[in-house]
Amino acid sequence: MANFLRFLQNAPAAVIVIGVVACGSPEAASQTGYAALPEPTSTVRLAESAQQSDLPAIDLSATTTSATSVVLEEPPVSDLPRSVGEPKTIEAGDLVLNFTLPADTINDPRPDPAPYEIVVSYDRWLLESCCDIKVVVQNVEPLFSDKEEIDVFESNGNVWKIYDTGPNDGSVVSAWASINGSPVLVSAQVFGTNPDATPAETVRLVAETMTSK
Amino acid sequence: MTTVVLVVRRASASFAALLLIFTLVVVAPSKPVSAGSGMNTYWWWQSGITVGPSSYKYSNATGFWQAIINSPTGCTTQVDGIYGSVTQWWAAHTQNVIIGSNNGGIMDSWAMSNIQLAKAPGGFTRLQNTGVTDGYGTQKIYYYGGSASNAELGWNPISQQWLFSPTPTSNPNLLIPALSSRTMGSYAPCA
């Protein structure tokens, strides 16, 4: 009896040991089976003595301020500069979309993103003074957070909703409308460091010109 | 008699402790993981976690970073959600490539902020929104690390959760939430 009571007194420690052993995953066990590290081939030095204090200081408040420095202000539609860019066309099955890009827009030289299964048609351009511009036709209706909605407008019979997405600082903006039953998205993301970049205005300019046949 | 009472009281306390520990050990793993854990803020460094060999070592958040590491390093790291020595080595390499220095391969707020805000040589932000948003609210995003293989990511502002594809080449549509727990399997680099 005395031995049993002594066991109970020590039981928590025993359970901890059992619990830790029981929680060990196969992956944890296999971790010890890793082969030796590859030989460094570059300037990487993974020294054990590397200390956080050795790192260059980073002012997170400064980077945050930098990331949120784009102020999203929606001017009245009548005040927006009118697009004089080149007319563009996107085809997605029976749907043909015609729209106009802002002046000075060029083809985005970067490779297209991965082929997502929900994308029916995709194209991308670059307005170097502002942002990249993407026009996407999807086969599923996108879901956006109501909290991110910043504007709703109608143009050429299409009702567009604009969202301040991503970091919610005006640097990534998406608009979408259902055109002839197909979800069409116009998006823009700030390119470069121009503090006067206005992705929301650019998205609106493109969306306003969009017609279908 | 006093000794017996004392022993019984201590035994009762041990029973209570034993019951509490059994509850923690047995119940905790079965607790459903709620949305929005791990990498759960748009700005990675604001998620409040450090991912490394001694913090969230076994987690989908580790898988998130392994997916990113494979972009600048050219598909070097198995995406298994385990922050082992190989992951740490290539994480340090990634920091050297993207930031210009490393902290020993730990993804802390310093590394997260510098990697997320980094710009590519062309002047554009490495983290690129594709303009594609699915029916669940996930925005398709990729991270350009400089190699031929981008990291395929997703941000869902509704559930406040980052996601990543462990198979950016064969199936970029497969996205796994970068949770603080490990629910993922193991995938070859850039599978």
CA–CA separation, B139 and A143 (whole Å): 9
The pLDDT tens digits for B33-78 are: 345 899 999 999 999 999 999 999 999 999 999 999 999 999 999 9
Beta-carbon neighbour count of residue A63 at 10 Å? 16
B50 CB within 8 Å of a chain A CB = no
Say whether pLDDT at A11 is over 70. Answer: no
Instruction: Give the pair of three-digit tokens for residue B164.
Output: 């990543």
- Looking at residue B14, its pLDDT comes to 55
Least confident of A54-58, A104-108, A176-180, B175-179: A54-58
Say whether pLDDT at A50 is over 80. Answer: no
Q: Do B132 and A191 touch (CB under 8 A)?
A: no
Q: Mutual orientation of helices B109-116 and A60-67 as an angle, nearest 10°?
A: 30
CA distance B37 to chain A (A): 18
Least confident of A64-73, A160-169, B112-121: A64-73
Say whether pLDDT at A48 is over 50. Answer: no
- Looking at residue A60, its pLDDT comes to 34
pTM of the model: 0.73
B82 CB within 8 Å of a chain A CB = yes
Cross-chain CB nearest to B157 (options A2, A56, A148): A148
B80 CB within 8 Å of a chain A CB = yes
- Looking at residue B63, its pLDDT comes to 98
Q: Do B158 and A60 touch (CB under 8 A)?
A: no
Question: What mean pLDDT do residues A197-206 have?
Answer: 95
- Looking at residue B161, its pLDDT comes to 97
Return the H-helix or E-strand segment holding B118.
none
- Looking at residue B114, its pLDDT comes to 98
A176 CB within 8 Å of a chain B CB = yes
- Looking at residue A193, its pLDDT comes to 77
Question: What mean pLDDT do residues A100-113 have?
Answer: 89
CA–CA separation, B94 and B104 (whole Å): 11
CA distance B97 to chain A (A): 9
Q: Do A46 and B89 touch (CB under 8 A)?
A: yes
Return the H-helix or E-strand segment holding A89.
strand A87-92
Say whether pLDDT at A85 is over 70. Answer: no
> How many residue pairs bridge chain A and chain B with CB atoms within 8 Å of each other?
188
CA distance B99 to chain A (A): 11
Instruction: Give the pair of three-digit tokens for residue B89.
Output: 């080595």
CA distance B82 to chain A (A): 8
In chain A, positions 26-55, which contact chain B (CB-CB < 8 Å)? 27-28, 31, 34, 37-38, 42-48, 50, 52, 54-55
Instruction: Give the pair of three-digit tokens for residue B94.
Output: 């990634």
B19 CB within 8 Å of a chain A CB = no
Q: How does residue A3 score in pLDDT terms, banded at 50, 70 and 90? A: very low
- Looking at residue B20, its pLDDT comes to 42
CA–CA separation, B124 and A191 (whole Å): 5
Chain B residues within 8 A of A190 when measuring between CB atoms:
125
Q: How does residue A194 score in pLDDT terms, banded at 50, 70 and 90? A: confident
Q: How does residue A86 score in pLDDT terms, banded at 50, 70 and 90? A: confident
Q: How many CA atoms lie within 13 A of B126 on its CB side?
A: 26
- Looking at residue A192, its pLDDT comes to 79
Q: How does residue A17 score in pLDDT terms, banded at 50, 70 and 90? A: very low
Q: Do B103 and A168 touch (CB under 8 A)?
A: no
| CA distances (Å), origin B148, targets A117, A192, B152, B171 | 21, 22, 12, 16
CA–CA separation, B19 and B27 (whole Å): 11
